[in-house]
A = this chain, B = another copy of it.
């Protein structure tokens, strides 16, 4: 009786990649801006944080600023060198999470994942807070309302990402390159004026800074070391985002790994150049910069307090104002693109989060529905979660970058460390089997790089923890712990279910008979269709069931039934209390009891409507009945849909929804193919 004895397998594929979806791989010049905005944007706040920390002991420590910058640059180069090994060894785009899971086990992977989740939230919070400060610098009425500006900006980003923005390379390339041009151009012009000897002083140059209480001169050796360590760990904010490329290797053109590695190096060189230029220029323009909460430590030249309405502009803004002192469009250009790049950096978190979610879902650490693209609900929930958390942070910390920075970086360096450790294990394992001397040499070299990287990042992590734990990092660690436990619990649940579901031999038993019942509420098209479909499956028993809650309607139905000569018996279940679900469930249980090895097939005619309010008016009982029948063993529930005209509306809507661009598509190598007659703007 069974059909199809030959196990034929047809591999569909290309065929289904139809319609408007296409795949475009990114050339280096587009990949750089797509993945770099997060890393580059930190130049907008990292130098500021270095100056703020140094200013704790007054201006004398400012001599250390460019040295700290150099150390940060050194760390960045080390980290990038390490990641260049990663993109070669793990070209699948799993990034730190994959490296840690494969080499160090599941718990290390979960730790990295927790760190990444927390970091995505902080990327949004820090970038948007910084952007709000730039906005307030350019538009004075916004001063004092930075938190509101930030929350509104996050809300707009959220709406855009929920809606699905058609991202293209150009979307990222234009502002990112403009930002590079703006910062590097400004610095080059500034350095030129420095050489020419007419570099103006910064607007804050005339001020002096009073040391914080307890940090007055002369500093002890230990005190100075601690101060420099704090400044350094704040400066390490410049490193956030460099790992993005290691998650995006599959989106690169071939040779993927090499291109990704080259882009990484390029990114590092640009980021370092920008950061160092900004620090050097700031130093040369004798900038004075303190924690925005302690503006009263600023003293005017005469030693008096600065005016109460003194507004401290970000470092880049002060440099731009000085360098372009006779050319205000230059100033506004720098400020504007800086603001834009910061928003773009926040947007990368909205793109990266769903990608991370899908990887975690595949490994059973997050709801599986996150794993398939386009689960609107899961996907939207992720975006809304990210937005809500970052809004909360912006609101609680009043959009003060300096405070949020204290929470940042811990997560980044946790994943850096685990990733490096994983890479060392990776090379050691491969060295065990590799015999080719050239390969072995390469691997040894890679391992050396990763070992150096681990040493470096471990030291940084310790410094960060020591200097920032009480200042806010404990919040991050708490949050990471929470996500760690949550993912572990989800993982355990899935494992338990899998065990319970594992097939054994017994499961091959076929049901002996099929007893089909069709639920009839009226004798209309949906019922007739369900009867026809049910009959087409040739069950052993076929009957229609009607739950009677009104004797007049029952009589009418029975008459119609007879008139139609339907040849299918109609069974009436009386329900004196107007219950519909219970009598049907009890009836199926009864059938099942009578033949325990048979199966009851319950056919439910459903009409499919298109509008949400129509949903409220129809099928509610069918829905509830299906829900209850699922709990009844030996029952299968068959929905026989009848599409009403209005269902076309919904079918169209569903289709549009599915074809819509989703945040993160671009970095998964999935971009919208150009519409006919439209320019390809990203190739």
Query: Which A residues lie at the B interface, using CB under 8 A?
Result: 1-13, 16-17, 21, 23, 358, 362, 367-369, 371-378, 490, 493-494, 497-498, 500-504, 507-511, 513-514, 522-529, 532-533, 535-543, 549-550, 558, 561-562, 564, 567-583, 586-587, 599, 601, 603, 606-609, 614, 616-618, 620-621, 624, 626-633, 635-645, 647, 650-651, 654, 658, 668, 670
Contacts and interface: CB of A to CB of B under 8 A. Distances in A.
Given A372-B579, A375-B624, A511-B533, 18 more contacts: A3-B542, A9-B558, A9-B571, A10-B571, A10-B572, A16-B573, A371-B549, A373-B578, A373-B579, A374-B581, A375-B620, A375-B621, A497-B607, A501-B525, A510-B532, A514-B537, A536-B599, A581-B658
Contacts of A12: 571-574, 583, 587
A628 B641 contact: no
A577 B18 CA distance: 12
21 contacts: A2-B568, A3-B541, A3-B542, A4-B569, A8-B569, A12-B571, A16-B583, A372-B578, A372-B581, A372-B621, A374-B581, A493-B614, A497-B607, A501-B525, A503-B524, A508-B528, A509-B532, A510-B532, A538-B538, A635-B641, A636-B638
A374 B624 CA distance: 10
B374 A617 contact: no
A375 B642 CA distance: 23
A513 B513 CA distance: 20
B524 A536 contact: no
Report, nearest first, the 8 A-B pairs whose CB atoms are least far apart.
Answer: A369-B620, A13-B574, A501-B524, A507-B528, A630-B641, A373-B578, A631-B651, A372-B580
A640 B638 CA distance: 9
Nearest to A631: B651
Contacts of A632: 641
B16 A575 contact: yes
A378 B631 contact: no
Chain A contact residues: helix, strand, loop or mixed: mixed
A599 to B, nearest CB: 6
B540 A620 contact: no
Nearest to A18: B586
A16 B582 contact: yes
Contact of A642 (B17, B490, B501): B501
A498 B511 contact: no
A261 to B, nearest CB: 25
B537 A539 contact: yes
Contacts of A10: 571-572
Contact of A630 (B580, B628, B639, B670): B639
Contact of A4 (B13, B541, B607, B614): B541
Contacts of A639: 626, 630, 636-639
A133 B647 CA distance: 53
B525 A567 contact: no
A543 B319 CA distance: 69
A562 B6 CA distance: 11
A511 to B, nearest CB: 4
A277 to B, nearest CB: 42
A654 to B, nearest CB: 6
Given A372-B621, A670-B577, A542 B2 contact: yes
B631 A561 contact: no
Residue in A368, A514, A542 whose Cβ sees the most chain B Cβ within 10 Å: A368
A525 B514 CA distance: 19
B501 A570 contact: no
Given A375-B620, A617-B367, A630 B608 contact: yes
A498 B524 contact: yes
Contacts of A490: 617
Contacts of A645: 500
Contacts of A369: 620-621, 624
B601 A537 contact: yes
A489 B608 CA distance: 19
B535 A507 contact: no
Nearest to A637: B639
Contact of A621 (B368, B608, B618, B621): B368
B562 A7 contact: yes
Contacts of A564: 503
B607 A5 contact: no
A493 B12 CA distance: 43
A656 to B, nearest CB: 13
A312 to B, nearest CB: 47
B523 A503 contact: yes
B508 A524 contact: no
B631 A647 contact: yes
Contacts of A642: 501
Contacts of A569: 4, 6-9
A584 to B, nearest CB: 10
Nearest to A560: B503
A27 to B, nearest CB: 21
A3 B533 contact: no
A497 B644 contact: yes
Contacts of A358: 578
Contacts of A636: 533, 603, 638-641
Nearest to A541: B3
B528 A503 contact: yes
Contacts of A501: 522, 524-526, 607, 642, 644
Contacts of A640: 636
